[in-house]
Amino acid sequence: MPPSNDMSNQAPPYSSYGYPSMQPAYRQGPASHTDSSPSQDLYSQSNYQQYSQPFPNLSQLSAALGGLSGVPELEVESLRPVNLLQERTLLPPRPLEAPEPNLTPDLKKVNCSPHVTSVTGSMMVRAQSLTTVDLLISLFNTAFCSLSVLFILTVSIAFRLQIITTLLFLSYLVPDEFMYNPVSRSYGEPHRRPEVQNSTVEFIASSDYMLRPPQPAAYLFVLDVSHNAVEAGYLKYFCESLLENLDRLPGDTRTRVGFLTFDSTIHFYNLQEGLSQPQMLVVSDIDDVFIPSHDSLMVNLKESKELVQDLLNSLPAMFSQTRETHSALGPALQAAFKLMSPTGGRVTVFQTQLPTLGAGLLQSREDPNQRSSTKHLGPATDFYKKLALDCSGQQIGVDLFLLSSQYADLSSLACISKYSAGSIFYYPSFHYIHNPAQLEKFQKDLERYLSRKIGFEAVMRIRCTKGLSIHTFHGNFFVRSTDLLSLANVNPDSAFAVQMSIEDSLADSSLACFQAALLYTSSKGKRRIRVHTLCLPVVNQLSDVYAGADVQAITCLLANMAIDRSISSSLSDARDALINAVVDFVNSYKSNVSSLQQSGLVCPSAMRLFPLYIHALLKQKALRTGTSTRLDERVFAMCEFKTQPLQQLMRMVHPDLYRLDNMSDQGALHLNDTVVPQPHLLHLSAERLSRDGAFLMDCGNVFYLWIGKCCSDMFIRDVLGIPNYASIPPNMFILYCPKKACLLFVFLFFCRDDGSAKATFFQQLVEDRSESSSSYYEFLQHIEQQMSK
């Protein structure tokens, strides 16, 4: 049968689902430099003058650049050299999107969307030996994020995951069962089956995939009730929130809950159905913790609901007069572990101070006079790590809410969540009266946390094409073996990253494929496997790799590596390594790809934002020096880098800045009869701000709206409902809920020109110099100096 690209009717042979013919082309998503404001044109004009042609003829340009393979249809926009020292406008008009790999339309449809998986480059080079530079290849994955459409399948063959990978490699051997397509209920056309047509598919796992019957959802809440905790006042708000959300806890009729409170002793609560009120059992021997009575400390939620509600209502009052100042967190965690071992599940720990009693007690390591010191970034003891590994082995995930106002050694405490696949939430200076912003954030985070989807007893396996191997992992999980990650709990808000290297040449494939498979138990007790697949074309030339690079993924990967380096050696080493990364990149571009002898800093258009992002990264709380940063905040910022999804991270590093008061309808989106204007992105520099404007800065989980002194009163009235500039209260904020359910609630702070949020706003303007760090231009000059060494 002659091969044809028409994929309809009778069982066409596999050869018709052909490989894309080798086109080493690449496309960068958004068009760049379509700014129409005159001042920016001036700069880009001068840059073009340099090359003395506005690129009307692609083959002319390709000849000028030299060294590119002679494919006439080359989209050279991504490779256009950009002289960073001269071009002032680098940002695209709309937020950057990941570059799309150039595959056939069918394969492109099947590829994972960037918000699920993104890769540092949309091309894979064929062999490490072809490159004289070190290639960083890495994959970011939010394995469990909410998807609008998800196909769920039952396949009874074993090794079905191997089949998917093989299908991508065009195997001719197709089992009979694959000839039936359950979605369209027709036979034939195995390439139309959902798992081949969609990048993310969920399978129902058979009993081969279960070591034990699927566990029920089990939630244990471990609450600090020392004097400090009562001062901070979180308990009342936690109880209120849990009472409201008790029905929204993911689970079914088998859901279990339990409560543990601790100060210098540990208190258990007997919630057996039939008791008239909850019974408190106190264990004061914290050196050898034992569980008083096994059965009714974790109870079925449905059966004991009234008792649970009684307990939550009375808990805040029970401890309001406490004088206990010690906190025995270690023994409480040991007790929690013992309690949850039979089933597994989720433990939520609320802590408000340094643990001072019992196993796992910590000393204060931060010297308040040395706030800019960068030592003590690693844990002080291995107690929490060991406990986390024990918990991970019993499928218990521990989430930590740290609500302390003083140093609480987060670097040691964080271990309990890091290796048991938990999440960490930190509220510095939490106080229910003095810090209403933190209180609101806590309440909203708690609401999201209690009701979000969860998966239990999960493992994740990441496979890639032969020739690639994974050598480093970033994220909260335990690596059980070379490609198997053990995740006690999975939730939609955390992301993982892996770094790969090319071991052997990818000589005989024109596609490199990656597959992440997550085996988990849903909260309703169903065992599922969710599979994400991504494939990339393999190219032979280094220039093609440059053209397909995803600068945001690269920045976040380098951030992860810098954090690892700062913990294992020192922060200044990590910062130097980041600067060297930029220098190496520019050097290698100059020597390998660009044949133009240019002075100045030239890099390909696809990567023009790379030095800017690295410069912004060096000013982040996690990696900055010179400015006083509390140790806990620094450690928390590092933990965020390891677990937040890519888009969140990028907005944290380089926020999006828009001007609001002069938006036009040019280029606006038309959605459902409303016109949504699309303002352009601005560079993060005070020179772009103006007194008579209002500017919105999107930092991911916080928005800032800065209003200049001379901003028009009409704008202030219409948008804020306040008569004029002078009546804006100095510390105003509102809580804004974006439509997308994935995100946490965001804060919108209004900054007057002289308010306190102003300082934070201005700190985010990364291109400007501050007392302790250089401006972007100075950074570029420093890079140029390093290059010529």
Partner 1 sequence: MEAAVFILSLVDCCALIFLSVYFIITLSDLECDYINARACCSKLNKWVIPEMIGQCLSTMLMLVSMHWFIFLLNLPVAAWNIYRYAKVPMGNMGVFDPTEIHNRGQLKSHMKEAMIKLGYHLLCFFIYLYSMILALIND
Interacting residues with partner 1 (CB under 8 A): 378-382, 385-386, 389, 393, 411-412, 415, 419, 471-473, 478-482, 484, 564, 568
CB of 495 to partner 1, least distance (A): 17
Closer by beta carbon to partner 1, 498 or else 716: 498
CB of 402 to partner 1, least distance (A): 17
Whole-angstrom Cα distance, residue 536 to residue 161? Answer: 19
Closer by beta carbon to partner 1, 419 or else 776: 419
Looking at the DSSP assignment, which residues form a beta bridge with residue 516? 462, 532
Residue 185's Cβ-side half-sphere holds a number of Cα atoms within 13 Å equal to 0
For residue 595, give the 3-state DSSP assignment. Answer: coil
CB of 565 to partner 1, least distance (A): 10
Q: Which of 769, 773, 194, 27 is nearest to 533 (CA)?
A: 194
In this structure, the number of other CB atoms found within 10 A of the CB of residue 151 comes to: 16
What is the DSSP-derived secondary structure letter of residue 742?
Answer: T
Residue 646 in contact with residue 118, Cβ under 8 Å? yes
Closer by beta carbon to partner 1, 93 or else 393: 393
CB of 524 to partner 1, least distance (A): 29
CB of 497 to partner 1, least distance (A): 12
What is the DSSP-derived secondary structure letter of residue 100?
Answer: B
Closer by beta carbon to partner 1, 45 or else 363: 363
Residue 139 in contact with residue 498, Cβ under 8 Å? yes
Place of tokens 């929130």: 241
CB of 409 to partner 1, least distance (A): 11
CB of 241 to partner 1, least distance (A): 33
CB of 186 to partner 1, least distance (A): 40
CB of 362 to partner 1, least distance (A): 11
As to burial, measured by CB atoms within 10 angstroms (0-12 exposed, 13-18 middle, 19+ buried), residue 287 is: exposed
Q: Which tokens hold the place of 133?
A: 């530079």
Closer by beta carbon to partner 1, 270 or else 412: 412
Angle between helices 383-393 and 329-340 (to 10 degrees): 10
Residue 496 in contact with residue 473, Cβ under 8 Å? yes
Looking at the DSSP assignment, which residues form a beta bridge with residue 511? 537
- In one letter, which amino acid is 127? A
CB of 365 to partner 1, least distance (A): 10
Closer by beta carbon to partner 1, 371 or else 480: 480
Closer by beta carbon to partner 1, 420 or else 443: 420
Q: Are strands 124-125 and 180-181 parallel, antiparallel or unpaired?
A: unpaired
CB of 235 to partner 1, least distance (A): 30
Closer by beta carbon to partner 1, 20 or else 393: 393
Closer by beta carbon to partner 1, 471 or else 691: 471
CB of 502 to partner 1, least distance (A): 14
CB of 328 to partner 1, least distance (A): 21
As to burial, measured by CB atoms within 10 angstroms (0-12 exposed, 13-18 middle, 19+ buried), residue 466 is: middle
Closer by beta carbon to partner 1, 376 or else 448: 376
Whole-angstrom Cα distance, residue 513 to residue 466? Answer: 9
Place of tokens 């998800």: 150
Angle between helices 776-787 and 571-588 (to 10 degrees): 70
CB of 567 to partner 1, least distance (A): 8
Closer by beta carbon to partner 1, 498 or else 766: 498
CB of 496 to partner 1, least distance (A): 13
**Helix (H) or strand (E) segment spanning residue 58:** helix 58-65
- In 491-622, beta strands by DSSP E: 496-502, 511-522, 527-539, 602-604
Distances (CA, A) of 698 to 256, 348, 764: 39, 30, 10
As to burial, measured by CB atoms within 10 angstroms (0-12 exposed, 13-18 middle, 19+ buried), residue 58 is: middle
Residue 398 in contact with residue 421, Cβ under 8 Å? no
Closer by beta carbon to partner 1, 248 or else 471: 471
CB of 141 to partner 1, least distance (A): 17
Whole-angstrom Cα distance, residue 252 to residue 246? Answer: 12
Q: Which tokens hold the place of 531?
A: 């599979």
Whole-angstrom Cα distance, residue 140 to residue 134? Answer: 19
**CA gyration radius, the chain:** 28
Distances (CA, A) of 392 to 114, 289, 348, 421, 524: 29, 20, 14, 8, 21
Closer by beta carbon to partner 1, 112 or else 400: 400
Whole-angstrom Cα distance, residue 194 to residue 186? Answer: 12
Please write down the HEC assignment for all residues of 697-722: EECCCEEEEEECCCCCHHHHHHHHCC
Q: Which of 352, 364, 362, 275 is nearest to 319 (CA)?
A: 352
Q: What angle do CA 637, 638, 641 make, to 5 degrees?
A: 90
- Residues in contact with 167: Cβ distance below 8 Å, sequence separation at least 6, in sequence order: 174, 190, 191, 196
Closer by beta carbon to partner 1, 479 or else 719: 479
CB of 413 to partner 1, least distance (A): 11
- In one letter, which amino acid is 104? T
Closer by beta carbon to partner 1, 477 or else 761: 477
Closer by beta carbon to partner 1, 78 or else 412: 412
CB of 636 to partner 1, least distance (A): 16
Closer by beta carbon to partner 1, 382 or else 576: 382
Whole-angstrom Cα distance, residue 85 to residue 659? Answer: 25
Closer by beta carbon to partner 1, 191 or else 634: 634
Q: Which backbone phi and psi does 602 adopt, to 5 degrees?
A: -110, 135
